[in-house]
Amino acid sequence: MVLEGLSNSLKGTLQKIAKALFVDDKLINELVKDIQRALLQSDVNVQLVLEITKRIKERALKEETPKTISKKEHLVNIVYEELVNFLGKGEHKSLLEEIKTKKPFKIMLVGLFGSGKTTTTGKLANYFKKRGIKTAVITTDTWRPAAYDQLEQTAKKINVAFFGNKQEKKPDKIYKQFEKELNEYDLVIIDTAGRDALSDELIEELQLLNKTVQPDQAFLVISADIGQTAQKQAQAFHDNCNVKGVIITKLDGTAKGGGSLIACAVTQAPVRFIGTGEKTDDLEEFKPEGFVGRILGMGDLEALLEKTKEAFTEQDTEEIKDKMLKGNFNLQDLYDQMQAMKKMGPLSKVLDLIPGMGQANIPKDLIKNQEVKIEKWKFLMDSMTAEEKETPEVITGKRIERISKGSGTSTSELRNLLKQYRQSKKLMKMMKPGSLEKDMQKMMQKMQGGKGFKF
Ligand code: GDP
Ligand code: MG
């Protein structure tokens, strides 16, 4: 998996949103800190990290939630959009379409030693060949003795035409030698020699090749493990060697990939392809939307949001919170709350976590039978008037007999329910308004950590 570390941290963060009971300033602050930590660990430049998270925070705090989605979904969307925004500056049309407009279309790959130019030459050839483009590759690397053989072997394996001249020492002459033959192809990919650094010598060599080849597209190949320093490199190659796009390789093997991706995205040489392994198939056209969606695990997240929504709608939680704070908590609320909890895990465990319930010293066997009891409560409540449900205090004497008879249960069952209600209400009143939210958050986290969800 590409950028596994970053992906896991960001997924964890977004799952926190999904699991949180309320979207509030505290959650947003925590989210922003989490994202900062995750990006810094992926070697994203501090300044850029601050910029991204500042935008996320501002939008999360100020923007109104669109009517069609929940607050949580909105928050997740903001994170998604801002990350895409940072990776996606400078939109472009698909290279495949561009290639079809000119024959031969010439792509030149440049970069430092070991960045992955030769491997990527093979990968690109394979990529476009599979899309019906008649492709040839040519090596102009006269520096490394093995460069010729390496590309020749790759070309053979993927079955594309290969050109090169082991005896010739001048890269531009090699290209000239085969220029006529290369005109027969839709696409020509030119592999070049690297150096340890962008030296004057390399600049000179590439400028000469540029003049001779006149590539339609020059890509800088960068290894992801250089992290945020990719920005300097991309800028330097852009300024000196006419590079208009970047291919980041080895994203499969480094924790710093996020840094190199975001660094290049902010230069004038945006990332166009990524290399995700050593094999010729391990190449992807870089599309920020899909990429960020995958990193954030949007598919899984949507499922989680959906699941949480089923158990507790935002309106529900807000209403319950409101009622508790005002002390308006009634039997119907107690019942609704129990039903919602039931969807989230085994009831015996959940009961412990409902404010008041845990401390209410409910006998063990009572808890055991709670699921059955809840069903009976429903019958009991069906036999109550609206007034009785809203103000259970009026349920005394004759009413007790009437309700238990009407519901087909017993008077002790009803007394039990009322006792539980009184205990809950008493304990809820005792809780300070400020601590309530914290308690509920804690309770939800405990519950979900326990058994509720699988990711
Ligand atoms: P060049 O000097 O720029 O031509 O680099 P090469 O193409 O020879 O690649 C250098 C090394 O990096 C080779 O061992 C490749 O197998 C490896 N490599 C290139 N791209 C990737 C990639 O996307 N993932 C991984 N894991 N290795 C890669
Ligand atoms: Mg090479």
Average pLDDT, stretch 293-308? 70
Q: What is the second-level CATH architecture of the domain 303-447?
A: Orthogonal Bundle (1.10)
Asked if the model's pLDDT at residue 431 lies above 80, the reply is no
How high is the mean pLDDT of the chain?
83
Q: Report pLDDT for 68.
A: 76
Is residue 257 lining ligand 1, measured as CB closer than 6 Å? no
89 or 256, higher pLDDT:
256
Q: Report pLDDT for 70.
A: 83
| CB-neighbour burial class of residue 408 (10 A; exposed 0-12, middle 13-18, buried 19+) | exposed
What's the CA gap between 193 and 142, in Å, rounded?
7
143 CA distance to ligand 2 centroid (A)? 9
String of b and e for 88-123 (b: at least 16 CB within 10 Å)?
A: beeeeeebeeebeeeebbbbbbbbbeebbbbbbbbb
Is residue 275 lining ligand 1, measured as CB closer than 6 Å? yes
Where does the pLDDT of residue 15 fall: very low under 50, low under 70, confident under 90, or very high at 90 and above?
Answer: confident
The residue whose CA is least distant from atom 2 of ligand 1 is: 114
11 Cβ partners below 8 Å, 6+ apart?
A: 296, 297, 300, 301, 455
Asked if the model's pLDDT at residue 349 lies above 60, the reply is no
What's the CA gap between 130 and 406, in Å, rounded?
74
Tokens of 319: 């209403």
Model confidence over 389-417: pLDDT tens digits? 888 889 988 999 999 998 888 898 899 88
Q: Which of 109, 119, 123 to mutate to test the pocket of ligand 1 (most atoms within 8 A of CB)?
A: 119
CATH 3.40.50.300 placement within the chain: 95-296
41 CA distance to ligand 2 centroid (A)? 30
What's the CA gap between 112 and 180, in Å, rounded?
29
Asked if the model's pLDDT at residue 449 lies above 50, the reply is no
CATH tag for 95-296 (out of 3.40.50.300, 3.40.980.10, 3.30.450.20, 2.60.40.650): 3.40.50.300
8 Cβ partners below 8 Å, 6+ apart?
A: none
Average pLDDT, stretch 250-265? 90
Average pLDDT, stretch 209-230? 95
Closest ligand relative to 139 C-alpha: 2
Q: How far is CA 73 from CA 6, 79, 303, 317, 381, in A?
A: 21, 10, 11, 16, 35
CATH tag for 4-86 (out of 2.60.40.3080, 1.10.150.80, 1.20.120.140, 2.60.40.290): 1.20.120.140
296 or 211, higher pLDDT:
211
Average pLDDT, stretch 380-388? 88
Strand-pair partners of 106:
188
Tokens of 433: 């308004």
Closest ligand relative to 164 C-alpha: 2
Parallel, antiparallel or unpaired: strands 245-249 and 217-223: parallel
What's the CA gap between 58 and 43, in Å, rounded?
23
Is residue 253 lining ligand 1, measured as CB closer than 6 Å? yes
Is residue 249 lining ligand 1, measured as CB closer than 6 Å? yes
Contact between residue 187 and residue 193 where contact means Cβ atoms under 8 Å apart:
no
Ligand 1 atom with least separation from CA of 276 = 23
- Name the percent of the chain lying above pLDDT 70: 78
Where does the pLDDT of residue 161 fall: very low under 50, low under 70, confident under 90, or very high at 90 and above?
Answer: very high
Where does the pLDDT of residue 453 fall: very low under 50, low under 70, confident under 90, or very high at 90 and above?
Answer: very low
Least confident of 147-156, 280-289, 362-371: 362-371
Contact between residue 303 and residue 455 where contact means Cβ atoms under 8 Å apart:
no
CATH 1.10.260.30 placement within the chain: 303-447
Contact between residue 392 and residue 330 where contact means Cβ atoms under 8 Å apart:
yes
257 CA distance to ligand 1 centroid (A)? 15
311 or 113, higher pLDDT:
113
Is residue 192 lining ligand 1, measured as CB closer than 6 Å? no
Asked if the model's pLDDT at residue 367 lies above 90, the reply is no
Asked if the model's pLDDT at residue 447 lies above 50, the reply is no
Asked if the model's pLDDT at residue 92 lies above 70, the reply is no
**Bond before 145 cis per omega within 30 degrees:** no
What's the CA gap between 429 and 434, in Å, rounded?
12
Q: Report pLDDT for 89.
A: 57
Where does the pLDDT of residue 455 fall: very low under 50, low under 70, confident under 90, or very high at 90 and above?
Answer: very low
Tokens of 159: 């079955």
Q: Which phi-psi region, left, alpha or beta, contains residue 287 (left: φ > 0; alpha: ψ -120 to 50)? A: beta
Contact between residue 75 and residue 301 where contact means Cβ atoms under 8 Å apart:
no
Q: Report pLDDT for 364.
A: 55
Tokens of 302: 């949507």
Asked if the model's pLDDT at residue 344 lies above 60, the reply is no
Ligand 1 atom with least separation from CA of 121 = 7
Least confident of 6-20, 101-115, 247-261: 6-20
Q: Report pLDDT for 413.
A: 87
Asked if the model's pLDDT at residue 19 lies above 90, the reply is no
CATH 1.20.120.140 placement within the chain: 4-86
116 CA distance to ligand 2 centroid (A)? 7
Contact between residue 371 and residue 347 where contact means Cβ atoms under 8 Å apart:
yes
Asked if the model's pLDDT at residue 139 lies above 50, the reply is yes
Q: Report pLDDT for 408.
A: 87
Where does the pLDDT of residue 377 fall: very low under 50, low under 70, confident under 90, or very high at 90 and above?
Answer: confident
Q: Report pLDDT for 288.
A: 86
Q: Report pLDDT for 341.
A: 59
Asked if the model's pLDDT at residue 379 lies above 90, the reply is no
Closest ligand relative to 220 C-alpha: 1
Is residue 282 lining ligand 1, measured as CB closer than 6 Å? yes
Q: Report pLDDT for 395.
A: 92
154 CA distance to ligand 2 centroid (A)? 12
Where does the pLDDT of residue 342 fall: very low under 50, low under 70, confident under 90, or very high at 90 and above?
Answer: low
The residue whose CA is least distant from atom 6 of ligand 1 is: 116
Over the chain, what HEC string results? CCCHHHHHHHHHHHHHHHHCCCCCHHHHHHHHHHHHHHHHHCCCCHHHHHHHHHHHHHHHHHCCCCCCCCHHHHHHHHHHHHHHHHHCCCCCCCHHHHHCCCCCEEEEEECCCCCCHHHHHHHHHHHHHHCCCCEEEEECCCCCCCHHHHHHHHHHHHCCEEECCCCCCCHHHHHHHHHHHHCCCCEEEEECCCCCCCCHHHHHHHHHHHHHHCCCEEEEEEEHHHHHHHHHHHHHHHHHHCCCEEEEECHHHCCCHHHHHHHHHCCCCCEEEEECCCCCCCEEECCHHHHHHHHCCHHHHHHHHHHHHHHCCHHHHHHHHHHHHHCCCCHHHHHHHHHHHHCCCCHHHHHHHCCCCHHHCCCHHHHHCHHHHHHHHHHHHHCCCHHHHHCHHHCCHHHHHHHHHHHCCCHHHHHHHHHHHHHHHHHHHHCCHHHHHHHHHHHHHHHHHHHHCCC
Q: Report pLDDT for 308.
A: 58
Q: Report pLDDT for 454.
A: 28
Average pLDDT, stretch 89-103? 83
Asked if the model's pLDDT at residue 352 lies above 90, the reply is no
Q: Report pLDDT for 350.
A: 47
Is residue 277 lining ligand 1, measured as CB closer than 6 Å? yes
Cα torsion angle, 13, 14, 18, 22, sign: positive
293 CA distance to ligand 1 centroid (A)? 26
Where does the pLDDT of residue 27 fall: very low under 50, low under 70, confident under 90, or very high at 90 and above?
Answer: very high
The residue whose CA is least distant from atom 13 of ligand 1 is: 116
Where does the pLDDT of residue 55 fall: very low under 50, low under 70, confident under 90, or very high at 90 and above?
Answer: very high
Asked if the model's pLDDT at residue 218 lies above 90, the reply is yes
